[in-house]
């Protein structure tokens, strides 16, 4: 078991490591930290992601004003000889300026790091962030605590919501965005939380905006969620599976979500949906909801799994991004 002093030393080392990473995101020309500055070397993925982000910023005439990463939680997973594996929950805040307008992007980033004890102290050996296309992705709450339960006794919810199908037709984009911003970094206890939660979150946002459920009783059809009791809930695949929602949106159903595909991201409005195939292999892995626009009129999105608020829509600065990425843009009809 790690001692309090060891955890303190590891935390100090990791704080230094992430300070250097933040500097590298601001300026790829920043020098490598010396052993005196920090007992780390920045990993190749850090440089690559920083270069992609800076190129993306140049393309969209954006400027990263500030980048700050802090450790929210630290948990020692295992220790073997001179190695220790640690799970972190990081909170990263960026201030981005586009055409004299600034916005704040926030991300919660769970990751595993491996430290190695050398003769001259501890070093960062490996960092493995989780991201939406990673099968190892886990729910942010279950990383450190028990899995989230729907409507648990201490959830504070006063009554069970009405999950039955209804006839509402008008989409209130403001309410959908309000819900998205309220729950971007946590889970509404009135719904189950999934290990890969992006589509469940997007579906909740659409429902909060007034989109009627289409409950067919068949999990392969419609778009619906039922909560019959505390121990179990039922939902359609389109409610909680990214690939299924993408094809449901494209199917133009007579009931439920009415949407139309548009050609480019700049045609989207707040409350619209973007679908992501990170590998370009036809398997759609991620969904986000548009919540705002930057100074160029391009979408900023919220997401779950790797929880994010007001992230630039293309994920070009994400570990999940590949040069084979494909997008689908869906405008939700009122």
Kindly report the CATH number assigned to the domain that includes residue 277: 3.90.1720.10
Same domain, 196 and 304: yes
- 69 domain-assigned: yes
- 158 domain-assigned: no
User: String of b and e for 248-285 (b: at least 16 CB within 10 Å)?
Assistant: bbeeebeebbbbeeeeebeebebbbbbbbbbeeeeebb
Report the domain count for the chain: 2
- 137 domain-assigned: no
- 144 domain-assigned: no
CA atoms within 13 A on the CB side of 173: 14
- 190 domain-assigned: yes
Same domain, 310 and 209: yes
Which of 151-160, 186-195, 241-250 is predicted with the least confidence, judged by mean pLDDT? 151-160
pLDDT in tens, 127-165: 887 654 443 333 333 333 323 333 222 223 323 344 444
Same domain, 177 and 98: no
| Residue 229: predicted pLDDT | 61
- 163 domain-assigned: no
Higher per-residue confidence, 170 vs 130: 170
Domain boundary among 129, 160, 190: 129
Q: What gap in Å lies between CA 212 and CA 209, rounded to an integer? A: 9
Expressed as residue numbers, the domain containing 84 is 4-129
| Banded pLDDT at 9 (limits 50, 70, 90) | confident
Domain boundary among 129, 145, 162: 129
Same domain, 202 and 306: yes
Domain boundary among 95, 129, 163: 129
Q: What gap in Å lies between CA 122 and CA 196, rounded to an integer? A: 33
| Banded pLDDT at 240 (limits 50, 70, 90) | very high
DSSP summary character for residue 211: P
Q: What gap in Å lies between CA 35 and CA 15, rounded to an integer? A: 15
- 153 domain-assigned: no
Same domain, 202 and 322: yes
CATH classification at residue 62 = 3.10.450.50
In 157-240, beta strands by DSSP E: 225-229, 232-235
The SS3 call for residue 282 is: coil
Higher per-residue confidence, 310 vs 195: 310
Q: Whole-number mean pLDDT of the chain?
A: 83
| Banded pLDDT at 44 (limits 50, 70, 90) | low
């Amino acid at each position: 078991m790690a001692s309090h002093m060891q955890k303190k030393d590891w935390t100090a080392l990791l704080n230094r490591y992430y300070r250097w990473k933040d500097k590298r995101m601001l300026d790829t020309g920043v020098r490598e930290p010396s052993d005196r500055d920090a007992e780390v070397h920045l990993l190749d993925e850090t440089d690559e992601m920083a270069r992609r982000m800076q190129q993306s910023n140049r393309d969209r005439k954006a400027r990263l004003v500030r980048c700050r990463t802090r450790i929210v939680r630290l948990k020692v997973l295992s220790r073997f000889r001179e190695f220790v594996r640690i799970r972190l929950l990081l909170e990263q805040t960026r201030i981005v300026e586009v055409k004299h307008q600034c916005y704040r992007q926030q991300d919660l980033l769970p990751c595993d790091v491996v430290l190695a004890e050398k003769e001259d102290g501890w070093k960062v050996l490996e960092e493995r962030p989780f991201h939406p296309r990673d099968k190892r992705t886990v729910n942010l709450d279950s990383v450190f605590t028990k899995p989230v339960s729907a409507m648990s006794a201490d959830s504070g919810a006063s009554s069970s919501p009405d999950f039955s199908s209804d006839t509402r037709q008008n989409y209130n984009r403001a309410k959908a965005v309000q819900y998205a911003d309220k729950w971007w970094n946590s889970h509404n206890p009135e719904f189950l939380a999934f290990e890969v939660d992006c589509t469940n979150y997007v579906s909740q946002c659409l429902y909060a905006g007034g989109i009627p459920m289409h409950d067919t009783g068949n999990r392969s059809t419609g778009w619906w969620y039922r909560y019959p009791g505390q121990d179990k809930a039922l939902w359609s695949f389109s409610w909680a599976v990214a690939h299924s929602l993408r094809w449901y949106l494209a199917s133009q159903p007579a009931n439920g979500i009415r949407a139309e595909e548009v050609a480019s991201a700049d045609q989207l409005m707040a409350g619209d949906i973007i679908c992501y195939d990170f590998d370009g292999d036809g398997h759609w892995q991620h969904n986000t909801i548009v919540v705002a626009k930057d100074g160029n009129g391009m979408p900023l999105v919220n997401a779950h799994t790797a929880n994010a608020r007001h992230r630039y829509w293309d994920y070009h600065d994400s570990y999940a991004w590949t040069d084979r990425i494909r997008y689908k843009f869906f405008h939700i009809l009122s």
